Structure 1
Amino acid sequence: MRPTPPSPHADTHFPPDRIRNFSIIAHVDHGKSTLADRLLEATGAIAAGGQAQYLDKLQVERERGITAQTVSLVYRHLGADYLLNLIDTPGHVDFSYEVSRSLAACQGALLLVDASQGAQTVANFFLAFEQDLAIVPVLNKIDMDSAEPQRVAQQLKDAFDIEPEECLRVSAKTGLGLEAVLPAVVERVPPPRGDPSADLRMLLFDAYHDEYRGVVCLVEVLDGRVQKGDKITAASTGTHYEVNEVGLLAPEPQPTGELLTGQVGYMLVGMKDTRSARVGDTWHHQRMPVPALPGFKSAKSMVFAGIFPLSADGFEQLQAAMERLTLNDASGKPRAAWCLRSTAVAVRRENSNALGAGFRCGFLGLLHMDVFRQRLEQEHGASVIVTAPTVPCRVVLPGGDTLELQNPAEFPLNVKIAEVWEPTVAATIVTPNDYVGSIMQLCQDRRGEMQEHAVLGAGRTLLKYHLPLAELGGDYYDELKSVSSGYASFDYEEAEQAHLQRLDILINGEPVDALARVVHRDKAQVVGRRLCAKLRDLMDRQQFEVVLQASAGGRIVARETLKAYRKNVLAKCYGGDVSRKRKLLEKQKEGKKRMRRVGSVDVPQEVFHELMKAGNKG
Structure 2
Amino acid sequence: MASLYRASKSLKSHRVPFNLLHINTKPLRFDTAAYLNPIFGWTQCQFFASQFREDPSIDLNQFPSDRIRNFSIIAHVDHGKSTLADRLLELTATIRKGHGQPQYLDKLQVERERGITVKAQTATMFHRHNYLGTDANFLLNLIDTPGHVDFSYEVSRSLAACQGVLLVVDAAQGQSYEVSDVGIMHPELTQTGILLTGQVGYVVSGMRSTQEARVGDTLYQTKCTVEPLPGFKPVKHMVFSGLYPADGSDFEALSHAIERLTCNDASVSVTKESSSALGLGFRCGFLGLLHMDVFHQRLEQEHGAHVISTVPTVPYIFEYSDGSKLQVQNPAMLPSNPKMRVTTCWEPTVIATIIIPSEYVGAIITLCSERRGEQLEYSFIDSQRALMKYRLPLREIVVDFYNELKSLTSGYASFDYEEADYQAADLVKLDILLNGQPVDAMATIVHRSKAQRVGRELVEKLKKFIDRQMFEITIQAAIGQKIIARETVSAMRKNVLAKCYGGDATRKKKLLEKQKEGKKRMKRVGSVDIPQEAFHELLKGS
Q: Which amino acid aligns with 2:217?
A: D
**How far 1:476 sits from its partner (Å)?**
3.0
Tell me the residue number matched to 2:140: 84
Equivalent of 2:332 in 391, 395, 409: 409
The secondary structure found in structure 1 opposite 2:377 is: strand
**How far 1:11 sits from its partner (Å)?**
4.2
Q: Which amino acid aligns with 1:34?
A: T
Rounded to whole Å, the distance in 2 between the matches of 1:396 and 1:239 is 41
Relative to structure 1, the CA distance from residue 342 to residue 609 in structure 2 (aligned partners, 3 Å threshold; closer, same or farther) is closer
Q: Which amino acid aligns with 2:380?
A: V
Tell me the residue number matched to 1:504: 431
Rounded to whole Å, the distance in 2 between the matches of 1:62 and 1:277 is 30
Tell me the residue number matched to 1:288: 225
Equivalent of 2:262 in 291, 311, 330: 330
Rounded to whole Å, the distance in 2 between the matches of 1:598 and 1:18 is 75
Tell me the residue number matched to 1:524: 451
Equivalent of 2:323 in 377, 388, 400: 400
Matches within 5 A, 1:547-562: 547-562=474-489
Matches within 5 A, 1:278-357: 278-284=214-220, 286=223, 288-290=225-227, 292-293=229-230, 296-312=232-248, 315-316=249-250, 319-327=252-260, 329-330=261-262, 341-343=264-266, 345-357=268-280
- Corresponding position: 1:275 with 2:211: yes
Q: Which amino acid aligns with 2:371?
A: R
Relative to structure 1, the CA distance from residue 260 to residue 587 in structure 2 (aligned partners, 3 Å threshold; closer, same or farther) is closer
The C-alpha deviation readout for 1:425-469, integer Å capped at 9, x for no partner, is 222222222322222222222222222223232422223222222
**How far 1:90 sits from its partner (Å)?**
1.1
Rounded to whole Å, the distance in 1 between the matches of 2:150 and 2:350 is 12
Q: Where does structure 2 lack aligned partners over 5 or more consecutive residues?
A: 1-54
Tell me the residue number matched to 2:440: 513
Tell me the residue number matched to 1:53: 103
Greater mean alpha carbon deviation, residues 481-490 or residues 559-568: 559-568
Rounded to whole Å, the distance in 2 between the matches of 1:471 and 1:391 is 10
Q: How many residues align?
A: 475
Rounded to whole Å, the distance in 2 between the matches of 1:7 and 1:422 is 57
Matches within 5 A, 1:27-38: 27-38=76-87
Rounded to whole Å, the distance in 2 between the matches of 1:406 and 1:549 is 23
The secondary structure found in structure 2 opposite 1:75 is: strand
Matches within 5 A, 1:453-602: 453-498=378-423, 499=425, 500-565=427-492, 593-602=520-529
Relative to structure 1, the CA distance from residue 399 to residue 36 in structure 2 (aligned partners, 3 Å threshold; closer, same or farther) is same
The C-alpha deviation readout for 1:525-552, integer Å capped at 9, x for no partner, is 2211221232234333445443322122
Rounded to whole Å, the distance in 1 between the matches of 2:282 and 2:202 is 33
Matches within 5 A, 1:1-16: 9-16=58-65
Tell me the residue number matched to 2:24: none
Q: Which amino acid aligns with 1:413?
A: S
Q: Where does structure 1 lack aligned partners over 5 or more consecutive residues?
A: 1-5, 119-234, 332-340
Tell me the residue number matched to 1:261: 197
Tell me the residue number matched to 1:448: 373
Rounded to whole Å, the distance in 1 between the matches of 2:201 and 2:262 is 20
- Corresponding position: 1:75 with 2:127: yes
Does the CA contact (< 8 Å) of 1:246 and 1:265 recur in 2? yes
Tell me the residue number matched to 1:376: 299
- Corresponding position: 1:102 with 2:158: yes
**How far 1:344 sits from its partner (Å)?**
5.4
The C-alpha deviation readout for 1:113-148, integer Å capped at 9, x for no partner, is 2xxxx3xxxxxxxxxxxxxxxxxxxxxxxxxxxxxx
Q: Give the % identical residues.
A: 59
Does the CA contact (< 8 Å) of 1:73 and 1:84 recur in 2? yes
Tell me the residue number matched to 2:10: none
Does the CA contact (< 8 Å) of 2:86 and 2:104 recur in 1? yes
The secondary structure found in structure 2 opposite 1:610 is: helix
Greater mean alpha carbon deviation, residues 275-284 or residues 50-59: 275-284
The C-alpha deviation readout for 1:315-366, integer Å capped at 9, x for no partner, is 32x6325414522x325xxxxxxxxx24153334433332334333222332
Higher relative contact order (CA 8 A, sep 6+): 2
The C-alpha deviation readout for 1:7-43, integer Å capped at 9, x for no partner, is 9933434333332211000111111111101101111
TM-score relative to the length of structure 1: 0.68
Does the CA contact (< 8 Å) of 1:539 and 1:607 recur in 2? yes
Rounded to whole Å, the distance in 1 between the matches of 2:301 and 2:182 is 33
